[in-house]
Chains A and B, each alone.
Chain A
C-alpha cells in the first residue's frame, strides 16, 4: 500500500459520497425530484466534493511535510557523539540513513549509531504513513458526513457546487503565475547565495571561466574562477551562426510560400518546414555530433584548416536547421497580413513581383520579421541538447567558428549533472547562469511580442 492507493481510496469514497448525496436528496423530496432546488446530481456532487477535496488537500500537505519532520526527528535523536557539526556533514549523514533504509549501499561503512538511526527512520516513516492514512480517511468520512447532513429540500446545491468549481478554476489559472514566481524566486535565491561568494561584476565581466572549485580546503590549484564572458561570447557565436543559416533560408522560404507558391505546394511545404520544429532536440544533437561535425572536420582538413571536432560551426549549423521554422512560419504570417492594396499599387506602377516584395512588402512587414528573428534568437540561446552534444566544454574566448566554444546552457548542464552536493559555488553558478538566461530570453520575447503586436495593429 502506498499513497497512490490512498488516493484511489479517497476517490472511491467520493464516488460513494456522490451516490449517498444523490439518494438523500431524492429521499428528502420524498421521491419527487422536481421540488428540489437543484438537480439531484448536484447534491451528489456536493457530497463528493465535500468528501474528496479536504482529504486530497490534507494528503498533499502531509506528503510534502512528513519527510522533513521525519528527517528532523531522526537527526535530532542522534547520539551527541556523532552529531554532525556543519550542514555538509548533516546532509551526508542524512543521505546515508536514507540509502540504508531503502536497502542501498552507502558511501561509508555504517556505524551502529547510524544503523539505529536508520531503524528509527523506518519506524517513524511507517508511523507517519499510517497516521496519514488514518487522518486522510477520517477527514474524508467526516467531510462526507458533514456534506450529507447539509442536504435538505431547499439546500442550494448547484450554487454551492458552482462556487467551489469556480474557486478551483481560479486556482488553476493562478498556477501559471505561480510557476513564473517559482522560477524567478528559485533562480534569484540560489544566485544570491552564489553572489555572496563571487562578486557580481567578476561574474558578469570576468574573462576567465574555470568552475572547478576545491573539494577540500587544502587542495592546490583549483580555486575556481567564474568570469562568464567567454560563455556569453560562445553562446553569441553559435547563435550568430544559427541565425546566418535560419535567417535567409527561413525568410526566403516564407516569401516564396506567401507570394509565389500555389496552394498545393504550400500544403506540402508548410508542414514539411514545421516537422523541423517537431523533431526532438536530442536528435539534432546526435545528428550534429555524429554526422555534421565529422563532415565539417573532413572538409576543413581537405582545404587545410584546423577544425576542432566540437566546432562551433557544427552546432550552429544544426541549430540553424532547427530554428528555420520559427523564422519562416511567423514571417509567413506577417507577410500574409500585409494588405493586398499595397501590392496592387506597386504592380500598378509596373513593378515586377520581386521588386514589389523587396521594395514594398518587406519594408511594410519589417517589424514583424524583426519580431520573428528575435523569437528565433531567443530559441537559439535557450537551446540545450544540440550544444551539449555537439559543442565543447572548453571556454575559449574566440570568434573562430572552427574552434570549440561553450555556451550558457552547456555549462548549466555540466555543472549540475551528476553533482549531488548542492552548496558549492560550482553548482550555484549554474543558477546564476540560469538567471541570466531567463532574463535575456524573457527580454527578447517581450520585445518581440510587443513589436509583432504593434505591427498587427497597424494593418488591422
Chain B
C-alpha cells in the first residue's frame, strides 16, 4: 500500500470506488440473485422429496386393492369327495385347482383349444384353490352345491384392471393377449369383475405369486429384530452413557472411549454386517437369517446413537439437582437413579426412538447375515429364518413382474408410515417433556 502511494506520481489518477447508481443497481441485483439461489436450492430439495414420495405413492396405492372375478363355482363331489365319505381329511387333500379349472371351462363353454384353456386358467390366482379349500373345510355342506363366488384374479388380470396394460400396444408386447382381453371385457360388462381392499397384503407372507404376496412375514421379522435391538441397545447404551457422564474420571482412557463412540457412529452400516458375519455367524456359529443375529448387529449399530443422545440428555440436567441430592445424603448411584435419570429420560427416549427408526430402515448389514432368503412362513421365534421389511422391499424390487413394482411401493409406504409414526412420537415426547432450566 505504502509502496503504491510512494510510487504514484503527483497528478496521477486516483482510483476511487465508483459510486454510480448503475453499480449499486448491479450489486443489488447480485444480492437478489444470491438470495434466489439459496431459496431455489431449498425449494429444489423440497421438490425432490415431493417427487420421491409422489412417485412411490403414485405407483403403490393400487396395491392396497385386489381384483376379484365372480365365477359360478359348483363344488363338484366328483373332485372333492368321489367316495362320498364326508371325511375332513379327504376334503383337505382334494384337487381344488382342478375344480376351479373345470368351473372356468364351464363358464367359458366356447374355449376348446389347449392353449386357450391355459390362457383361461391364467385368469385366476394359482392359489385360489386354497381359499376354496378353507371354505369347504369350514362348511362341508357346500359339497354338491353351486354358487357365484368372488375368486382372486391373477396378477396379469389385476394389472389389466388397474390400467397398467396398454391396449394399444402390439399384442406380442403385452402380457395379456387379445383373446384374454375379450374374455375380460365380457366378464367386466357382466359386472363379474371388481376390486376390493387387499387384506391379503397385510395378512400373508412372501410368495412367488404377486397377488398372494404380503408383508406380514416381513413386518413380524422386523418386530422380532427390533425387539432384540431395543432389549440390547437401550440398557447397554443408557448404562454406558451414565458411566461416561456421571462416574468416569476424566483421563485418556475415557477420551479414547469417547472418540471411539463418535467414530463408531460414522462407520458405514455394511461394515457392521461384515462384523456380524465374521463374528456371530462364523465364529460363534449362530443361525443364519435369524432375527436374533440381525437384532444383535443392529444393536451394535444403534448403540452409538443412543449413547450420544443419552449423554447429552444427562448433561442437560443441571448440577444443582445433583448437589441438592448429595447434600441430603444420597449416594452417587442414588443421585443418578432417583433424580438425574428420571429427569433425563424424555431426552434419552427421544434419542432411542430415533435410533430405532434408523435401525428399522436399515438393510445392508442384514443382507450380510443372510436375512435375504425367500421365506414363505411368518417367523414364530427369534431363531426362525426371517426377513425384515426393508429387505423385503429390496427383494421385491428385484422381481420382474409389474405387480411386484406396485407391491414394493406399497411396502415402502408401510415402512415410511412406521417411520413417520416413530418420528412424530419422538417429536411429541420432546415437546411434552422439554424443560428449560
Q: Please list the residues of chain A having a beta carbon within 8 angstroms of any beta carbon in chain B.
A: 2, 4, 64, 67-68, 71, 158, 162, 165-166, 168-170, 172-177, 179-180, 182-183, 186-187, 189-190, 248-250, 252-253, 255-257, 259-260, 269, 272-273, 275-276, 278-287, 289-291, 321, 324, 328, 352-355, 357-358, 375, 378-379, 381-385, 388-389, 409, 412-413, 416-418, 422, 430-431, 434, 437-438, 441-442, 445-446, 449
Neighbouring B residues of A418 by C-beta, 8 Å: 372
Is there an interface contact between A165 and B333, defined as CB atoms closer than 8 Å? yes
Is there an interface contact between B243 and A321, defined as CB atoms closer than 8 Å? no
Is there an interface contact between A280 and B34, defined as CB atoms closer than 8 Å? no
Pick the 8 closest A-B CB pairs, nearest first: A382-B268, A256-B38, A280-B361, A186-B278, A354-B34, A384-B364, A169-B243, A172-B239
In Å, the complex CA distance between A284 and B416 comes to 12
Among B59, B266, B270, B357, max chain A CB count under 10 A is at B270
User: Which of B39-47, B110-118, B205-213, B339-347 is the contact stretch?
Assistant: B39-47
Is there an interface contact between B240 and A173, defined as CB atoms closer than 8 Å? yes
In Å, the complex CA distance between A165 and B243 comes to 10
B391 nearest CB across to chain A (Å):
8
In Å, the complex CA distance between A446 and B48 comes to 31
Which residue of chain B has its CB nearest to the CB of A249? Answer: B41
Neighbouring B residues of A189 by C-beta, 8 Å: 278
For the complex with contacts A252-B42, A354-B31, 17 further pairs of A-B residues with Cβ separation under 8 Å are A169-B239, A174-B257, A179-B300, A180-B260, A249-B44, A257-B42, A260-B39, A272-B45, A278-B423, A281-B361, A282-B361, A284-B52, A286-B408, A286-B412, A321-B52, A324-B45, A437-B268
Is there an interface contact between B307 and A283, defined as CB atoms closer than 8 Å? no
In Å, the complex CA distance between A411 and B121 comes to 42
B339 nearest CB across to chain A (Å):
15
In Å, the complex CA distance between A60 and B186 comes to 65
Q: Does B203 lie at the interface of the complex (its beta carbon under 8 Å from any beta carbon of A)?
A: no
Q: Does B165 lie at the interface of the complex (its beta carbon under 8 Å from any beta carbon of A)?
A: no
Query: Could you give, for residues 7-43 of chain B, a 1 whenever the CB lies within 8 Å of some chain A CB and a 0 otherwise?
Result: 0000000000000000000011011011101111110
Is there an interface contact between B393 and A176, defined as CB atoms closer than 8 Å? no
B110 nearest CB across to chain A (Å):
40
Is there an interface contact between A182 and B275, defined as CB atoms closer than 8 Å? yes
A207 nearest CB across to chain B (Å):
25
In Å, the complex CA distance between A254 and B310 comes to 27
Is there an interface contact between B34 and A290, defined as CB atoms closer than 8 Å? no
User: Which of B80-88, B134-142, B279-287 is the contact stretch?
Assistant: B279-287
B276 nearest CB across to chain A (Å):
9
Which residue of chain A has its CB nearest to the CB of B365? Answer: A384
Neighbouring A residues of B386 by C-beta, 8 Å: none
Is there an interface contact between A413 and B247, defined as CB atoms closer than 8 Å? no
Neighbouring B residues of A170 by C-beta, 8 Å: 243
Is there an interface contact between B270 and A409, defined as CB atoms closer than 8 Å? yes
Is there an interface contact between A416 and B364, defined as CB atoms closer than 8 Å? no
Which residue of chain B has its CB nearest to the CB of A354? Answer: B34
Neighbouring A residues of B303 by C-beta, 8 Å: 175-176, 179
Q: Looking at the complex, which one of A169, A252, A416, A449 makes contact with B242 (CB distance below 8 Å)?
A: A169
Is there an interface contact between B27 and A282, defined as CB atoms closer than 8 Å? no
Among A272, A283, A328, A416, max chain B CB count under 10 A is at A283
Query: Could you give, for residues 45-70 of chain B, a 1 whenever the CB lies within 8 Å of some chain A CB and a 0 otherwise?
Result: 11011001001100100000000000
18 contacts between A and B (CB under 8 A): A168-B239, A180-B260, A182-B275, A253-B45, A256-B39, A259-B38, A276-B49, A281-B363, A283-B416, A328-B45, A354-B30, A357-B34, A382-B267, A382-B270, A409-B268, A434-B270, A437-B268, A449-B263
Is there an interface contact between A352 and B27, defined as CB atoms closer than 8 Å? yes
Q: Looking at the complex, which one of B49, B275, B284, B363 makes contact with A275 (CB distance below 8 Å)?
A: B49
Secondary structure type dominating chain B contacts:
helix
Q: Does B429 lie at the interface of the complex (its beta carbon under 8 Å from any beta carbon of A)?
A: no
Known contacts A177-B257, A280-B363, A287-B52: A4-B382 contact under CB 8 Å = yes
In Å, the complex CA distance between A353 and B31 comes to 7
In Å, the complex CA distance between A286 and B60 comes to 12
In Å, the complex CA distance between A389 and B40 comes to 30
Q: Does B331 lie at the interface of the complex (its beta carbon under 8 Å from any beta carbon of A)?
A: yes
Among A249, A354, A422, max chain B CB count under 10 A is at A354
In Å, the complex CA distance between A416 and B261 comes to 27
In Å, the complex CA distance between A291 and B34 comes to 31
Query: Could you give, for residues 349-381 of chain B, a 1 whenever the CB lies within 8 Å of some chain A CB and a 0 otherwise?
Result: 000000001001111100110001000000001
Is there an interface contact between A182 and B45, defined as CB atoms closer than 8 Å? no
In Å, the complex CA distance between A381 and B268 comes to 8
Known contacts A249-B44, A249-B45: A438-B271 contact under CB 8 Å = yes
B19 nearest CB across to chain A (Å):
10
Known contacts A176-B261, A438-B271, A441-B268: A280-B333 contact under CB 8 Å = no
Q: Does B405 lie at the interface of the complex (its beta carbon under 8 Å from any beta carbon of A)?
A: yes
Q: Looking at the complex, which one of B37, B263, B274 makes contact with A446 (CB distance below 8 Å)?
A: B263
Known contacts A283-B56, A283-B415: A290-B362 contact under CB 8 Å = no
Q: Does B316 lie at the interface of the complex (its beta carbon under 8 Å from any beta carbon of A)?
A: no
Neighbouring B residues of A422 by C-beta, 8 Å: 282
Is there an interface contact between A169 and B247, defined as CB atoms closer than 8 Å? yes
Q: Looking at the complex, which one of B37, B52, B277 makes contact with A416 (CB distance below 8 Å)?
A: B277
In Å, the complex CA distance between A418 and B304 comes to 30
A433 nearest CB across to chain B (Å):
9
In Å, the complex CA distance between A256 and B39 comes to 6
Neighbouring A residues of B271 by C-beta, 8 Å: 183, 187, 382, 434, 437-438
B47 nearest CB across to chain A (Å):
10
In Å, the complex CA distance between A437 and B274 comes to 11
Neighbouring B residues of A352 by C-beta, 8 Å: 27-28, 30-31
Which residue of chain B has its CB nearest to the CB of A94? Answer: B285
Is there an interface contact between A177 and B247, defined as CB atoms closer than 8 Å? no
Q: Looking at the complex, which one of B42, B300, B362 makes contact with A269 (CB distance below 8 Å)?
A: B42
Neighbouring A residues of B278 by C-beta, 8 Å: 186-187, 189-190, 431
Q: Does B129 lie at the interface of the complex (its beta carbon under 8 Å from any beta carbon of A)?
A: no
In Å, the complex CA distance between A250 and B42 comes to 8
Which residue of chain A has its CB nearest to the CB of B48? Answer: A321
